[in-house]
C-alpha cells in the first residue's frame, strides 16, 4: 500500500506518494527529518490506484515527490527515465519529478 496527498499550489499541483510503512519514520543524515503524514498524507491506495492516479494527473501536475522503494518501482513503470537518489541512513529511494 501507498500513502498519498495532492497539494494545490499557486504554481500547480504537487503529488506526494510514499510507501505506507515509511510515513512517520525518521531519516538520519547530517540532520534528521521525518517522513511526515502532513506531506505524504494518510490516504491509502494500492498499486493499481497509484498507477491510475499518476496517469490521470500526469498533464495536470507540476511535480511528483516519490519516497520509498515500492513507490519508486511503481512510478518507474510510467516514468522509465526518472532519476533516483538514496536518502538518509537507510538509503531510501527517492525521486522528484518536475514538469
> pTM score, two decimals?
0.91
Domain tally, the chain: 1
Q: Which of 7, 39, 53, 74 is nearest to 93 (CA)?
A: 74
Question: Between β-strands 12-19 and 61-67, what pairing exists: parallel, antiparallel or unpaired?
Answer: parallel
The yes-or-no verdict on residue 53 having pLDDT over 90 is yes
The yes-or-no verdict on residue 99 having pLDDT over 90 is no
Where does the pLDDT of residue 71 fall: very low under 50, low under 70, confident under 90, or very high at 90 and above? very high
What is the radius of gyration, based on Cα positions, of the chain? 13
Angstrom distance (rounded) from CA 78 to CA 62:
16
Q: Which domain holds residue 58?
A: 2-98
Q: Which of 18, 79, 74, 13 is nearest to 43 (CA)?
A: 18
Beta bridge partners of 72: none
First-to-last alpha carbon distance for the chain, in angstroms, is 25
List all residues 6 or more positions away from 80 whose beta carbon is below 8 Å from its beta carbon. Answer: none
Where does the pLDDT of residue 31 fall: very low under 50, low under 70, confident under 90, or very high at 90 and above? confident
Amino acid at each position: 500500500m501507498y500513502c498519498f496527498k495532492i497539494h494545490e499550489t499557486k504554481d500547480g499541483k504537487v503529488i506526494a506518494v510514499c510507501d505506507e510503512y515509511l510515513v512517520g519514520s525518521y531519516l538520519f543524515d547530517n540532520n534528521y527529518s521525518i517522513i511526515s503524514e502532513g506531506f505524504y498524507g494518510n490516504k491509502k491506495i494500492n498499486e493499481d490506484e497509484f498507477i491510475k492516479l499518476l496517469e490521470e494527473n500526469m498533464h495536470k501536475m507540476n511535480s511528483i515527490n516519490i519516497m520509498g522503494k515500492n513507490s519508486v518501482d511503481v512510478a518507474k513503470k510510467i516514468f522509465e527515465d526518472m532519476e533516483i537518489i538514496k536518502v538518509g541512513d537507510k538509503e531510501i529511494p527517492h525521486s522528484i519529478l518536475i514538469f
